[in-house]
Structure 1
Amino acid sequence: MTIPVFYTISDNYTPYAAVSIQSLIDHVSPEKDYTITLLVQTISEEHKKSLENLSTANVHVNIFHIDDDMVKPIHNSEENYLRGQFFTMSIFYRLFIPDLFPQYDKAVYLDADTIINTDIAEMYEIDVADNMFASCPDLSIRYMPLLQEYIKKCQGIFPAEKYINNGVILFNMKAFRDKHFVDKFYYLLNKYHFDNVDPDQAYMNEICEDKIYHLPKEWDAMPNENLPEFENPKIVHYNLFFKPWHFADVQYGEYFWKVAKNTEFYDELKQQLADFTDADRQRARDDLEKMAKKVKKIEQEQYTWAKVKEFDDVKI
């Protein structure tokens, strides 16, 4: 038996994915077998080899190319912009993992900006019962009134604290397939064109709202200036704008650099940090204000999740 782990990346995210995968490899059990699959649309041959070369005797790293037809219904339009600022198709790939890999009834998904500090088998072995998936509540929004407002008024999820972050997922793959998640996703995407600040995450929260197992917070520890660091986080997730290759003083940053120094991308990542100016860092923080404006705009839309849930059976 193998423990399947998935990442979804664009080519430029290869260095961060490599560090995440290395952190995972550093903690695996020699008595277990692991298969890591990275879903991409395009990737350079150099980056492909770099990732595949991370493989060990019991960790097998593979590249899987997403069929363009599968994501064709997802348009590069403002409603699908991440954080209301730019379009990236790779965030949607995770929604198709259960259908693309029917040989697995269970699997782990990780964002590329994560560091794993324990054997990922520990997460894989959690019993999610009949829930669609397991994830942690999104602590990056806990002290951000504008996003709390978005979850309540636009998403219609109460309390807002139950809203999950889907950067770390334990999929009940069989339940996703049995409940035809992808069909529901396509239906809602094409019928309502929901405007979201977190498109992929919104669809998972909404379609699966009452079938989500909440993991302990240590499985998705995120930098948050309003919270002290968790002791011994199992997974660190550099969510939103707080990347250690941009901010030298970011919470949990030491976990990233401890692993990064043992990868071929260390010098490149250090250079990225050096090249990221104070003006760049200020622009990153200003992006939060742009999100605020986006939330106000979404509240006025004809169709929001909160409005549609009053008359359409969008839940599973």
Structure 2
Amino acid sequence: MTVPIFYSISDDFTRYAVVSLHSLVKHANPQTDYTIYFLNQDLSNQHQADLSALGSNNVHVKFFHIDDELVKPIQNRKENFLRADFFTMSIFYRLFIPELFPQYDKTVYIDSDTIVNDDIAKLYDTELGNHLFAACTDSSIQYVAKMVKYIKDVLALDPKKYINSGMLVMNAKAFREEGFIDHFMDLLEHYHFDCIAPDQDYLNEIGEGRILHLNPRWDAIPNENTEPLANPGLIHYNLFFKPWHFRNVQYEQYFWENTQETKFYDELKAELDHYTDQERANDREKLNHMLLKEDKTEKGPNNWANVKQREQVAL
């Protein structure tokens, strides 16, 4: 038996993915077999080699090219923009994992801006039962009033149950048997929901009532309002809290400890040193720009809250 772990990645994010994979391999149980897949559309040969080099006897690194035809219905529209300012197809790749890998009944997905600080097989061992997937409540938005209002009034969900999609334990068998991807595509093409967090909103809505909420240590997200968790199992540098762009980010020590052990340390240190205060201000402003959607979407006739009064959205 192997533990299947998935990342979705674009070529410009490889350096951070190398650090994440390094941390995962470092904490892997030598008695357990792992297969790590990088879902991609544009990964260079050099970057594939950089990632492959981190494999070991029991950690197998593989690459899977996402076919353009598969994701063609997900178009470069404003409602699919990440953080309201740009489009990246890679955020949607995770939704297709169960269909693309029918050999697995359960899988783990993690974002590339993560550090694994414990054996990831512990996540895979999560007993899902009839849940569609397991994840952690999105702690990064609990103190953002506009986002909380969006979740309540536009998504018609409980903000305390709204999960972050940067770590998922997926019931791949249920995804396939219950037609998750067909349902997702139908909603996407029919309503073009204007989302603040596109893939994440769809997962929260389609999975409503069938999400297993895990201990927050498995998706520890930096924020400026709470004390750090003492023993994070997985750290997720969500939104603009990137230690390679900002100093004094919560949990940054885990990132730099692992980065020092990779070939990209000097490069990433230079990236931090050369990132300007203006660029940091722009990053923070992107969050505010993203939240401007709330006013517009709350009044939209086809927002999630209104559509859910007319038809079943959750599986």
TM-score by length of 1: 0.98
What is the DSSP-based 3-state SS (H/G/I as helix, E as strand, rest coil) of the residue aligned with 1:71?
coil
Over the aligned positions, Cα root-mean-square deviation in angstroms equals: 0.8
| Residue number in structure 2 paired with 1:288 | 287
Alignment of 1:13-32 (within 5 A): 13-32=13-32
What do residues 43-75 of structure 1 show as CA deviations (whole Å, max 9, x unaligned)?
111111111111111000111100111100001
| Residue number in structure 2 paired with 1:197 | 196
| Residue number in structure 1 paired with 2:172 | 173
Q: Percent identity?
A: 52
Tell whether 2:61 aligns with 1:57: no
- Stretch deviating more after TM superposition (289-298 or 300-309): 289-298
Alignment of 1:100-179 (within 5 A): 100-157=100-157, 159-179=158-178
Cα distance between partner residues in 1 of 2:59 and 2:192: 40
| Residue number in structure 2 paired with 1:207 | 206
- CA drift of 1:209 comes to 0.7
What do residues 215-246 of structure 1 show as CA deviations (whole Å, max 9, x unaligned)?
01111001110011000101100001110000
Q: What letter is aligned with 2:120?
A: I
What is the DSSP-based 3-state SS (H/G/I as helix, E as strand, rest coil) of the residue aligned with 1:86?
coil
What is the DSSP-based 3-state SS (H/G/I as helix, E as strand, rest coil) of the residue aligned with 1:188?
helix
C-alpha contact 1:5 1:108 (8 A) present in aligned 2: yes
Cα distance between partner residues in 2 of 1:82 and 1:295: 15
What do residues 144-176 of structure 1 show as CA deviations (whole Å, max 9, x unaligned)?
00000110111010x211000010011111011
Cα distance between partner residues in 2 of 1:11 and 1:230: 31
- CA drift of 1:291 comes to 1.9
Q: Tell me which stretches of 4 or more aligned residues in structure 1 moved more than 3 Å.
A: none
Cα distance between partner residues in 2 of 1:237 and 1:128: 22
Unaligned runs of 5+ in 1: none
C-alpha contact 1:52 1:63 (8 A) present in aligned 2: no
Alignment of 1:5-20 (within 5 A): 5-20=5-20
Cα distance between partner residues in 1 of 2:118 and 2:314: 34
C-alpha contact 2:196 2:291 (8 A) present in aligned 1: no
TM-score by length of 2: 0.99
- Stretch deviating more after TM superposition (95-104 or 300-309): 300-309
Equivalent pairs, count: 315
Cα distance between partner residues in 1 of 2:57 and 2:172: 26
| Residue number in structure 1 paired with 2:72 | 72
Q: What letter is aligned with 2:16?
A: Y
| Residue number in structure 2 paired with 1:309 | 308
| Residue number in structure 1 paired with 2:252 | 253
Q: What letter is aligned with 1:199?
A: P
Unaligned runs of 5+ in 2: none
What is the DSSP-based 3-state SS (H/G/I as helix, E as strand, rest coil) of the residue aligned with 1:272?
helix
| Residue number in structure 2 paired with 1:269 | 268
Q: What letter is aligned with 1:136?
A: C
C-alpha contact 1:222 1:237 (8 A) present in aligned 2: yes
Q: What letter is aligned with 1:41?
A: Q
- CA drift of 1:315 comes to 1.4
Cα distance between partner residues in 1 of 2:178 and 2:239: 30
What is the DSSP-based 3-state SS (H/G/I as helix, E as strand, rest coil) of the residue aligned with 1:167?
strand
Tell whether 2:66 aligns with 1:90: no
Cα distance between partner residues in 1 of 2:164 and 2:144: 15
What do residues 88-122 of structure 1 show as CA deviations (whole Å, max 9, x unaligned)?
00000000000000000111100000101111111
